[in-house]
Amino acid sequence: MFRSTKIIACFSSSFTKEDADNLYQSCLEKGDYTDLYEEVKSFKHNETDTNAEFLWRKARAYRLYAANHVQDQSKKKKLIHDAYNYSSMAVSSDSNNWAGHKWLAILIGEKAEFEGSKAQLLASPDMKKHFELASKLNPTDATTLHLLGLWHFEFANMSWVTRKVAATIFAKVPESSYEIALSYFEQAEKIDPNFYSMNWLFLARCYKALGDKENLDKYKEKLENFKPNDADDQKAKTDAQKFL
């Protein structure tokens, strides 16, 4: 367990990322982000704090805690809104910070989920823009590639009804294909094999949509046999059981 003084030091003027990221990794392995959130929330932020590395890590901690440990919707909404603000400030502080763009894109989408389906559709171009900026700045981040794949999958898989609604919002409804989505999921898996159960799920969904039974069976087996570690893993497992 990290001592608070050690974490505070890593976010001081002599900021180094290692201690904060080690704490994140420890929480990730446990599937419990409470310690990360409790440490990070104690840092007082004001308008003079412009360290993008600090801000996106704070956004990450708030989002992971909200997604995995908070059931009360009003509290979750507040945490996601705060995380959105921190990620937005990170990008304003440093427009070349790839992780700031990644977390801003994630939180644009999660903030919009609380505002309804129209807000989610309206948010989608900004999400894509920031994911693409993050990927351009760091082409080797598997998570960003996965999230770009997810963006393309959602538009490839859009129902007729949703597309009709989208047509009332956009002059031209964004379009994509399962092939484009699959290319991002495959790139992510190549860069970091087995990094994320959700990537397995969406690889399987693309292979099913494209009629590739051999690869579908490969990821079906992975999804059936792995042990969930956190809420994302559990959702991947549950969705795979329904879908496959």
pLDDT in tens, 108-163: 999 999 998 889 999 999 999 999 999 999 999 999 999 999 999 999 998 888 88
CA 217 – CA 203 distance, rounded (Å) = 11
Decide: 151 and 182 in contact? Cβ < 8 Å: no
CA 244 – CA 41 distance, rounded (Å) = 40
Work out the pLDDT band at 16, boundaries 50, 70, 90. Answer: low
Both 3 and 106 in one domain: the answer is yes
Closest CA to 116 of 59, 75, 61, 169: 169
Domain final position from 80, 115, 150 = 115
Check pLDDT > 80 for residue 12.
no
> What are the CA-CA distances from residue 112 to residues 9, 47, 70, 187, 219 (Å)?
34, 25, 18, 27, 31
Quick one: average pLDDT of 32-56?
79
Work out the pLDDT band at 11, boundaries 50, 70, 90. Answer: very low
Both 150 and 92 in one domain: the answer is no
Q: Is 131 a domain residue?
A: no
Helix H segments across the chain? 4-10, 18-30, 34-41, 52-69, 73-93, 98-113, 117-137, 142-156, 160-167, 178-191, 197-209, 213-225, 231-243
Q: Is 107 a domain residue?
A: yes
* Whole-structure pTM value: 0.86
Q: What are phi and psi of 43, to 5 degrees?
A: -75, 125
Both 110 and 27 in one domain: the answer is yes
Check pLDDT > 50 for residue 2.
no
Residue 111 C-beta-side C-alpha neighbours within 13 Å = 24
> What are the CA-CA distances from residue 76 to residues 6, 221, 223, 229 (Å)?
28, 34, 28, 21
The predicted-structure confidence for 208-219, as pLDDT tens digits, reads as follows 999 999 999 999
Q: Is 122 a domain residue?
A: no
Both 42 and 102 in one domain: the answer is yes
Residue 151 C-beta-side C-alpha neighbours within 13 Å = 25
**What total of structural domains would you count in the chain?**
2
Query: Which amino acid, 66?
Result: A
Range of the domain at 167: 139-244
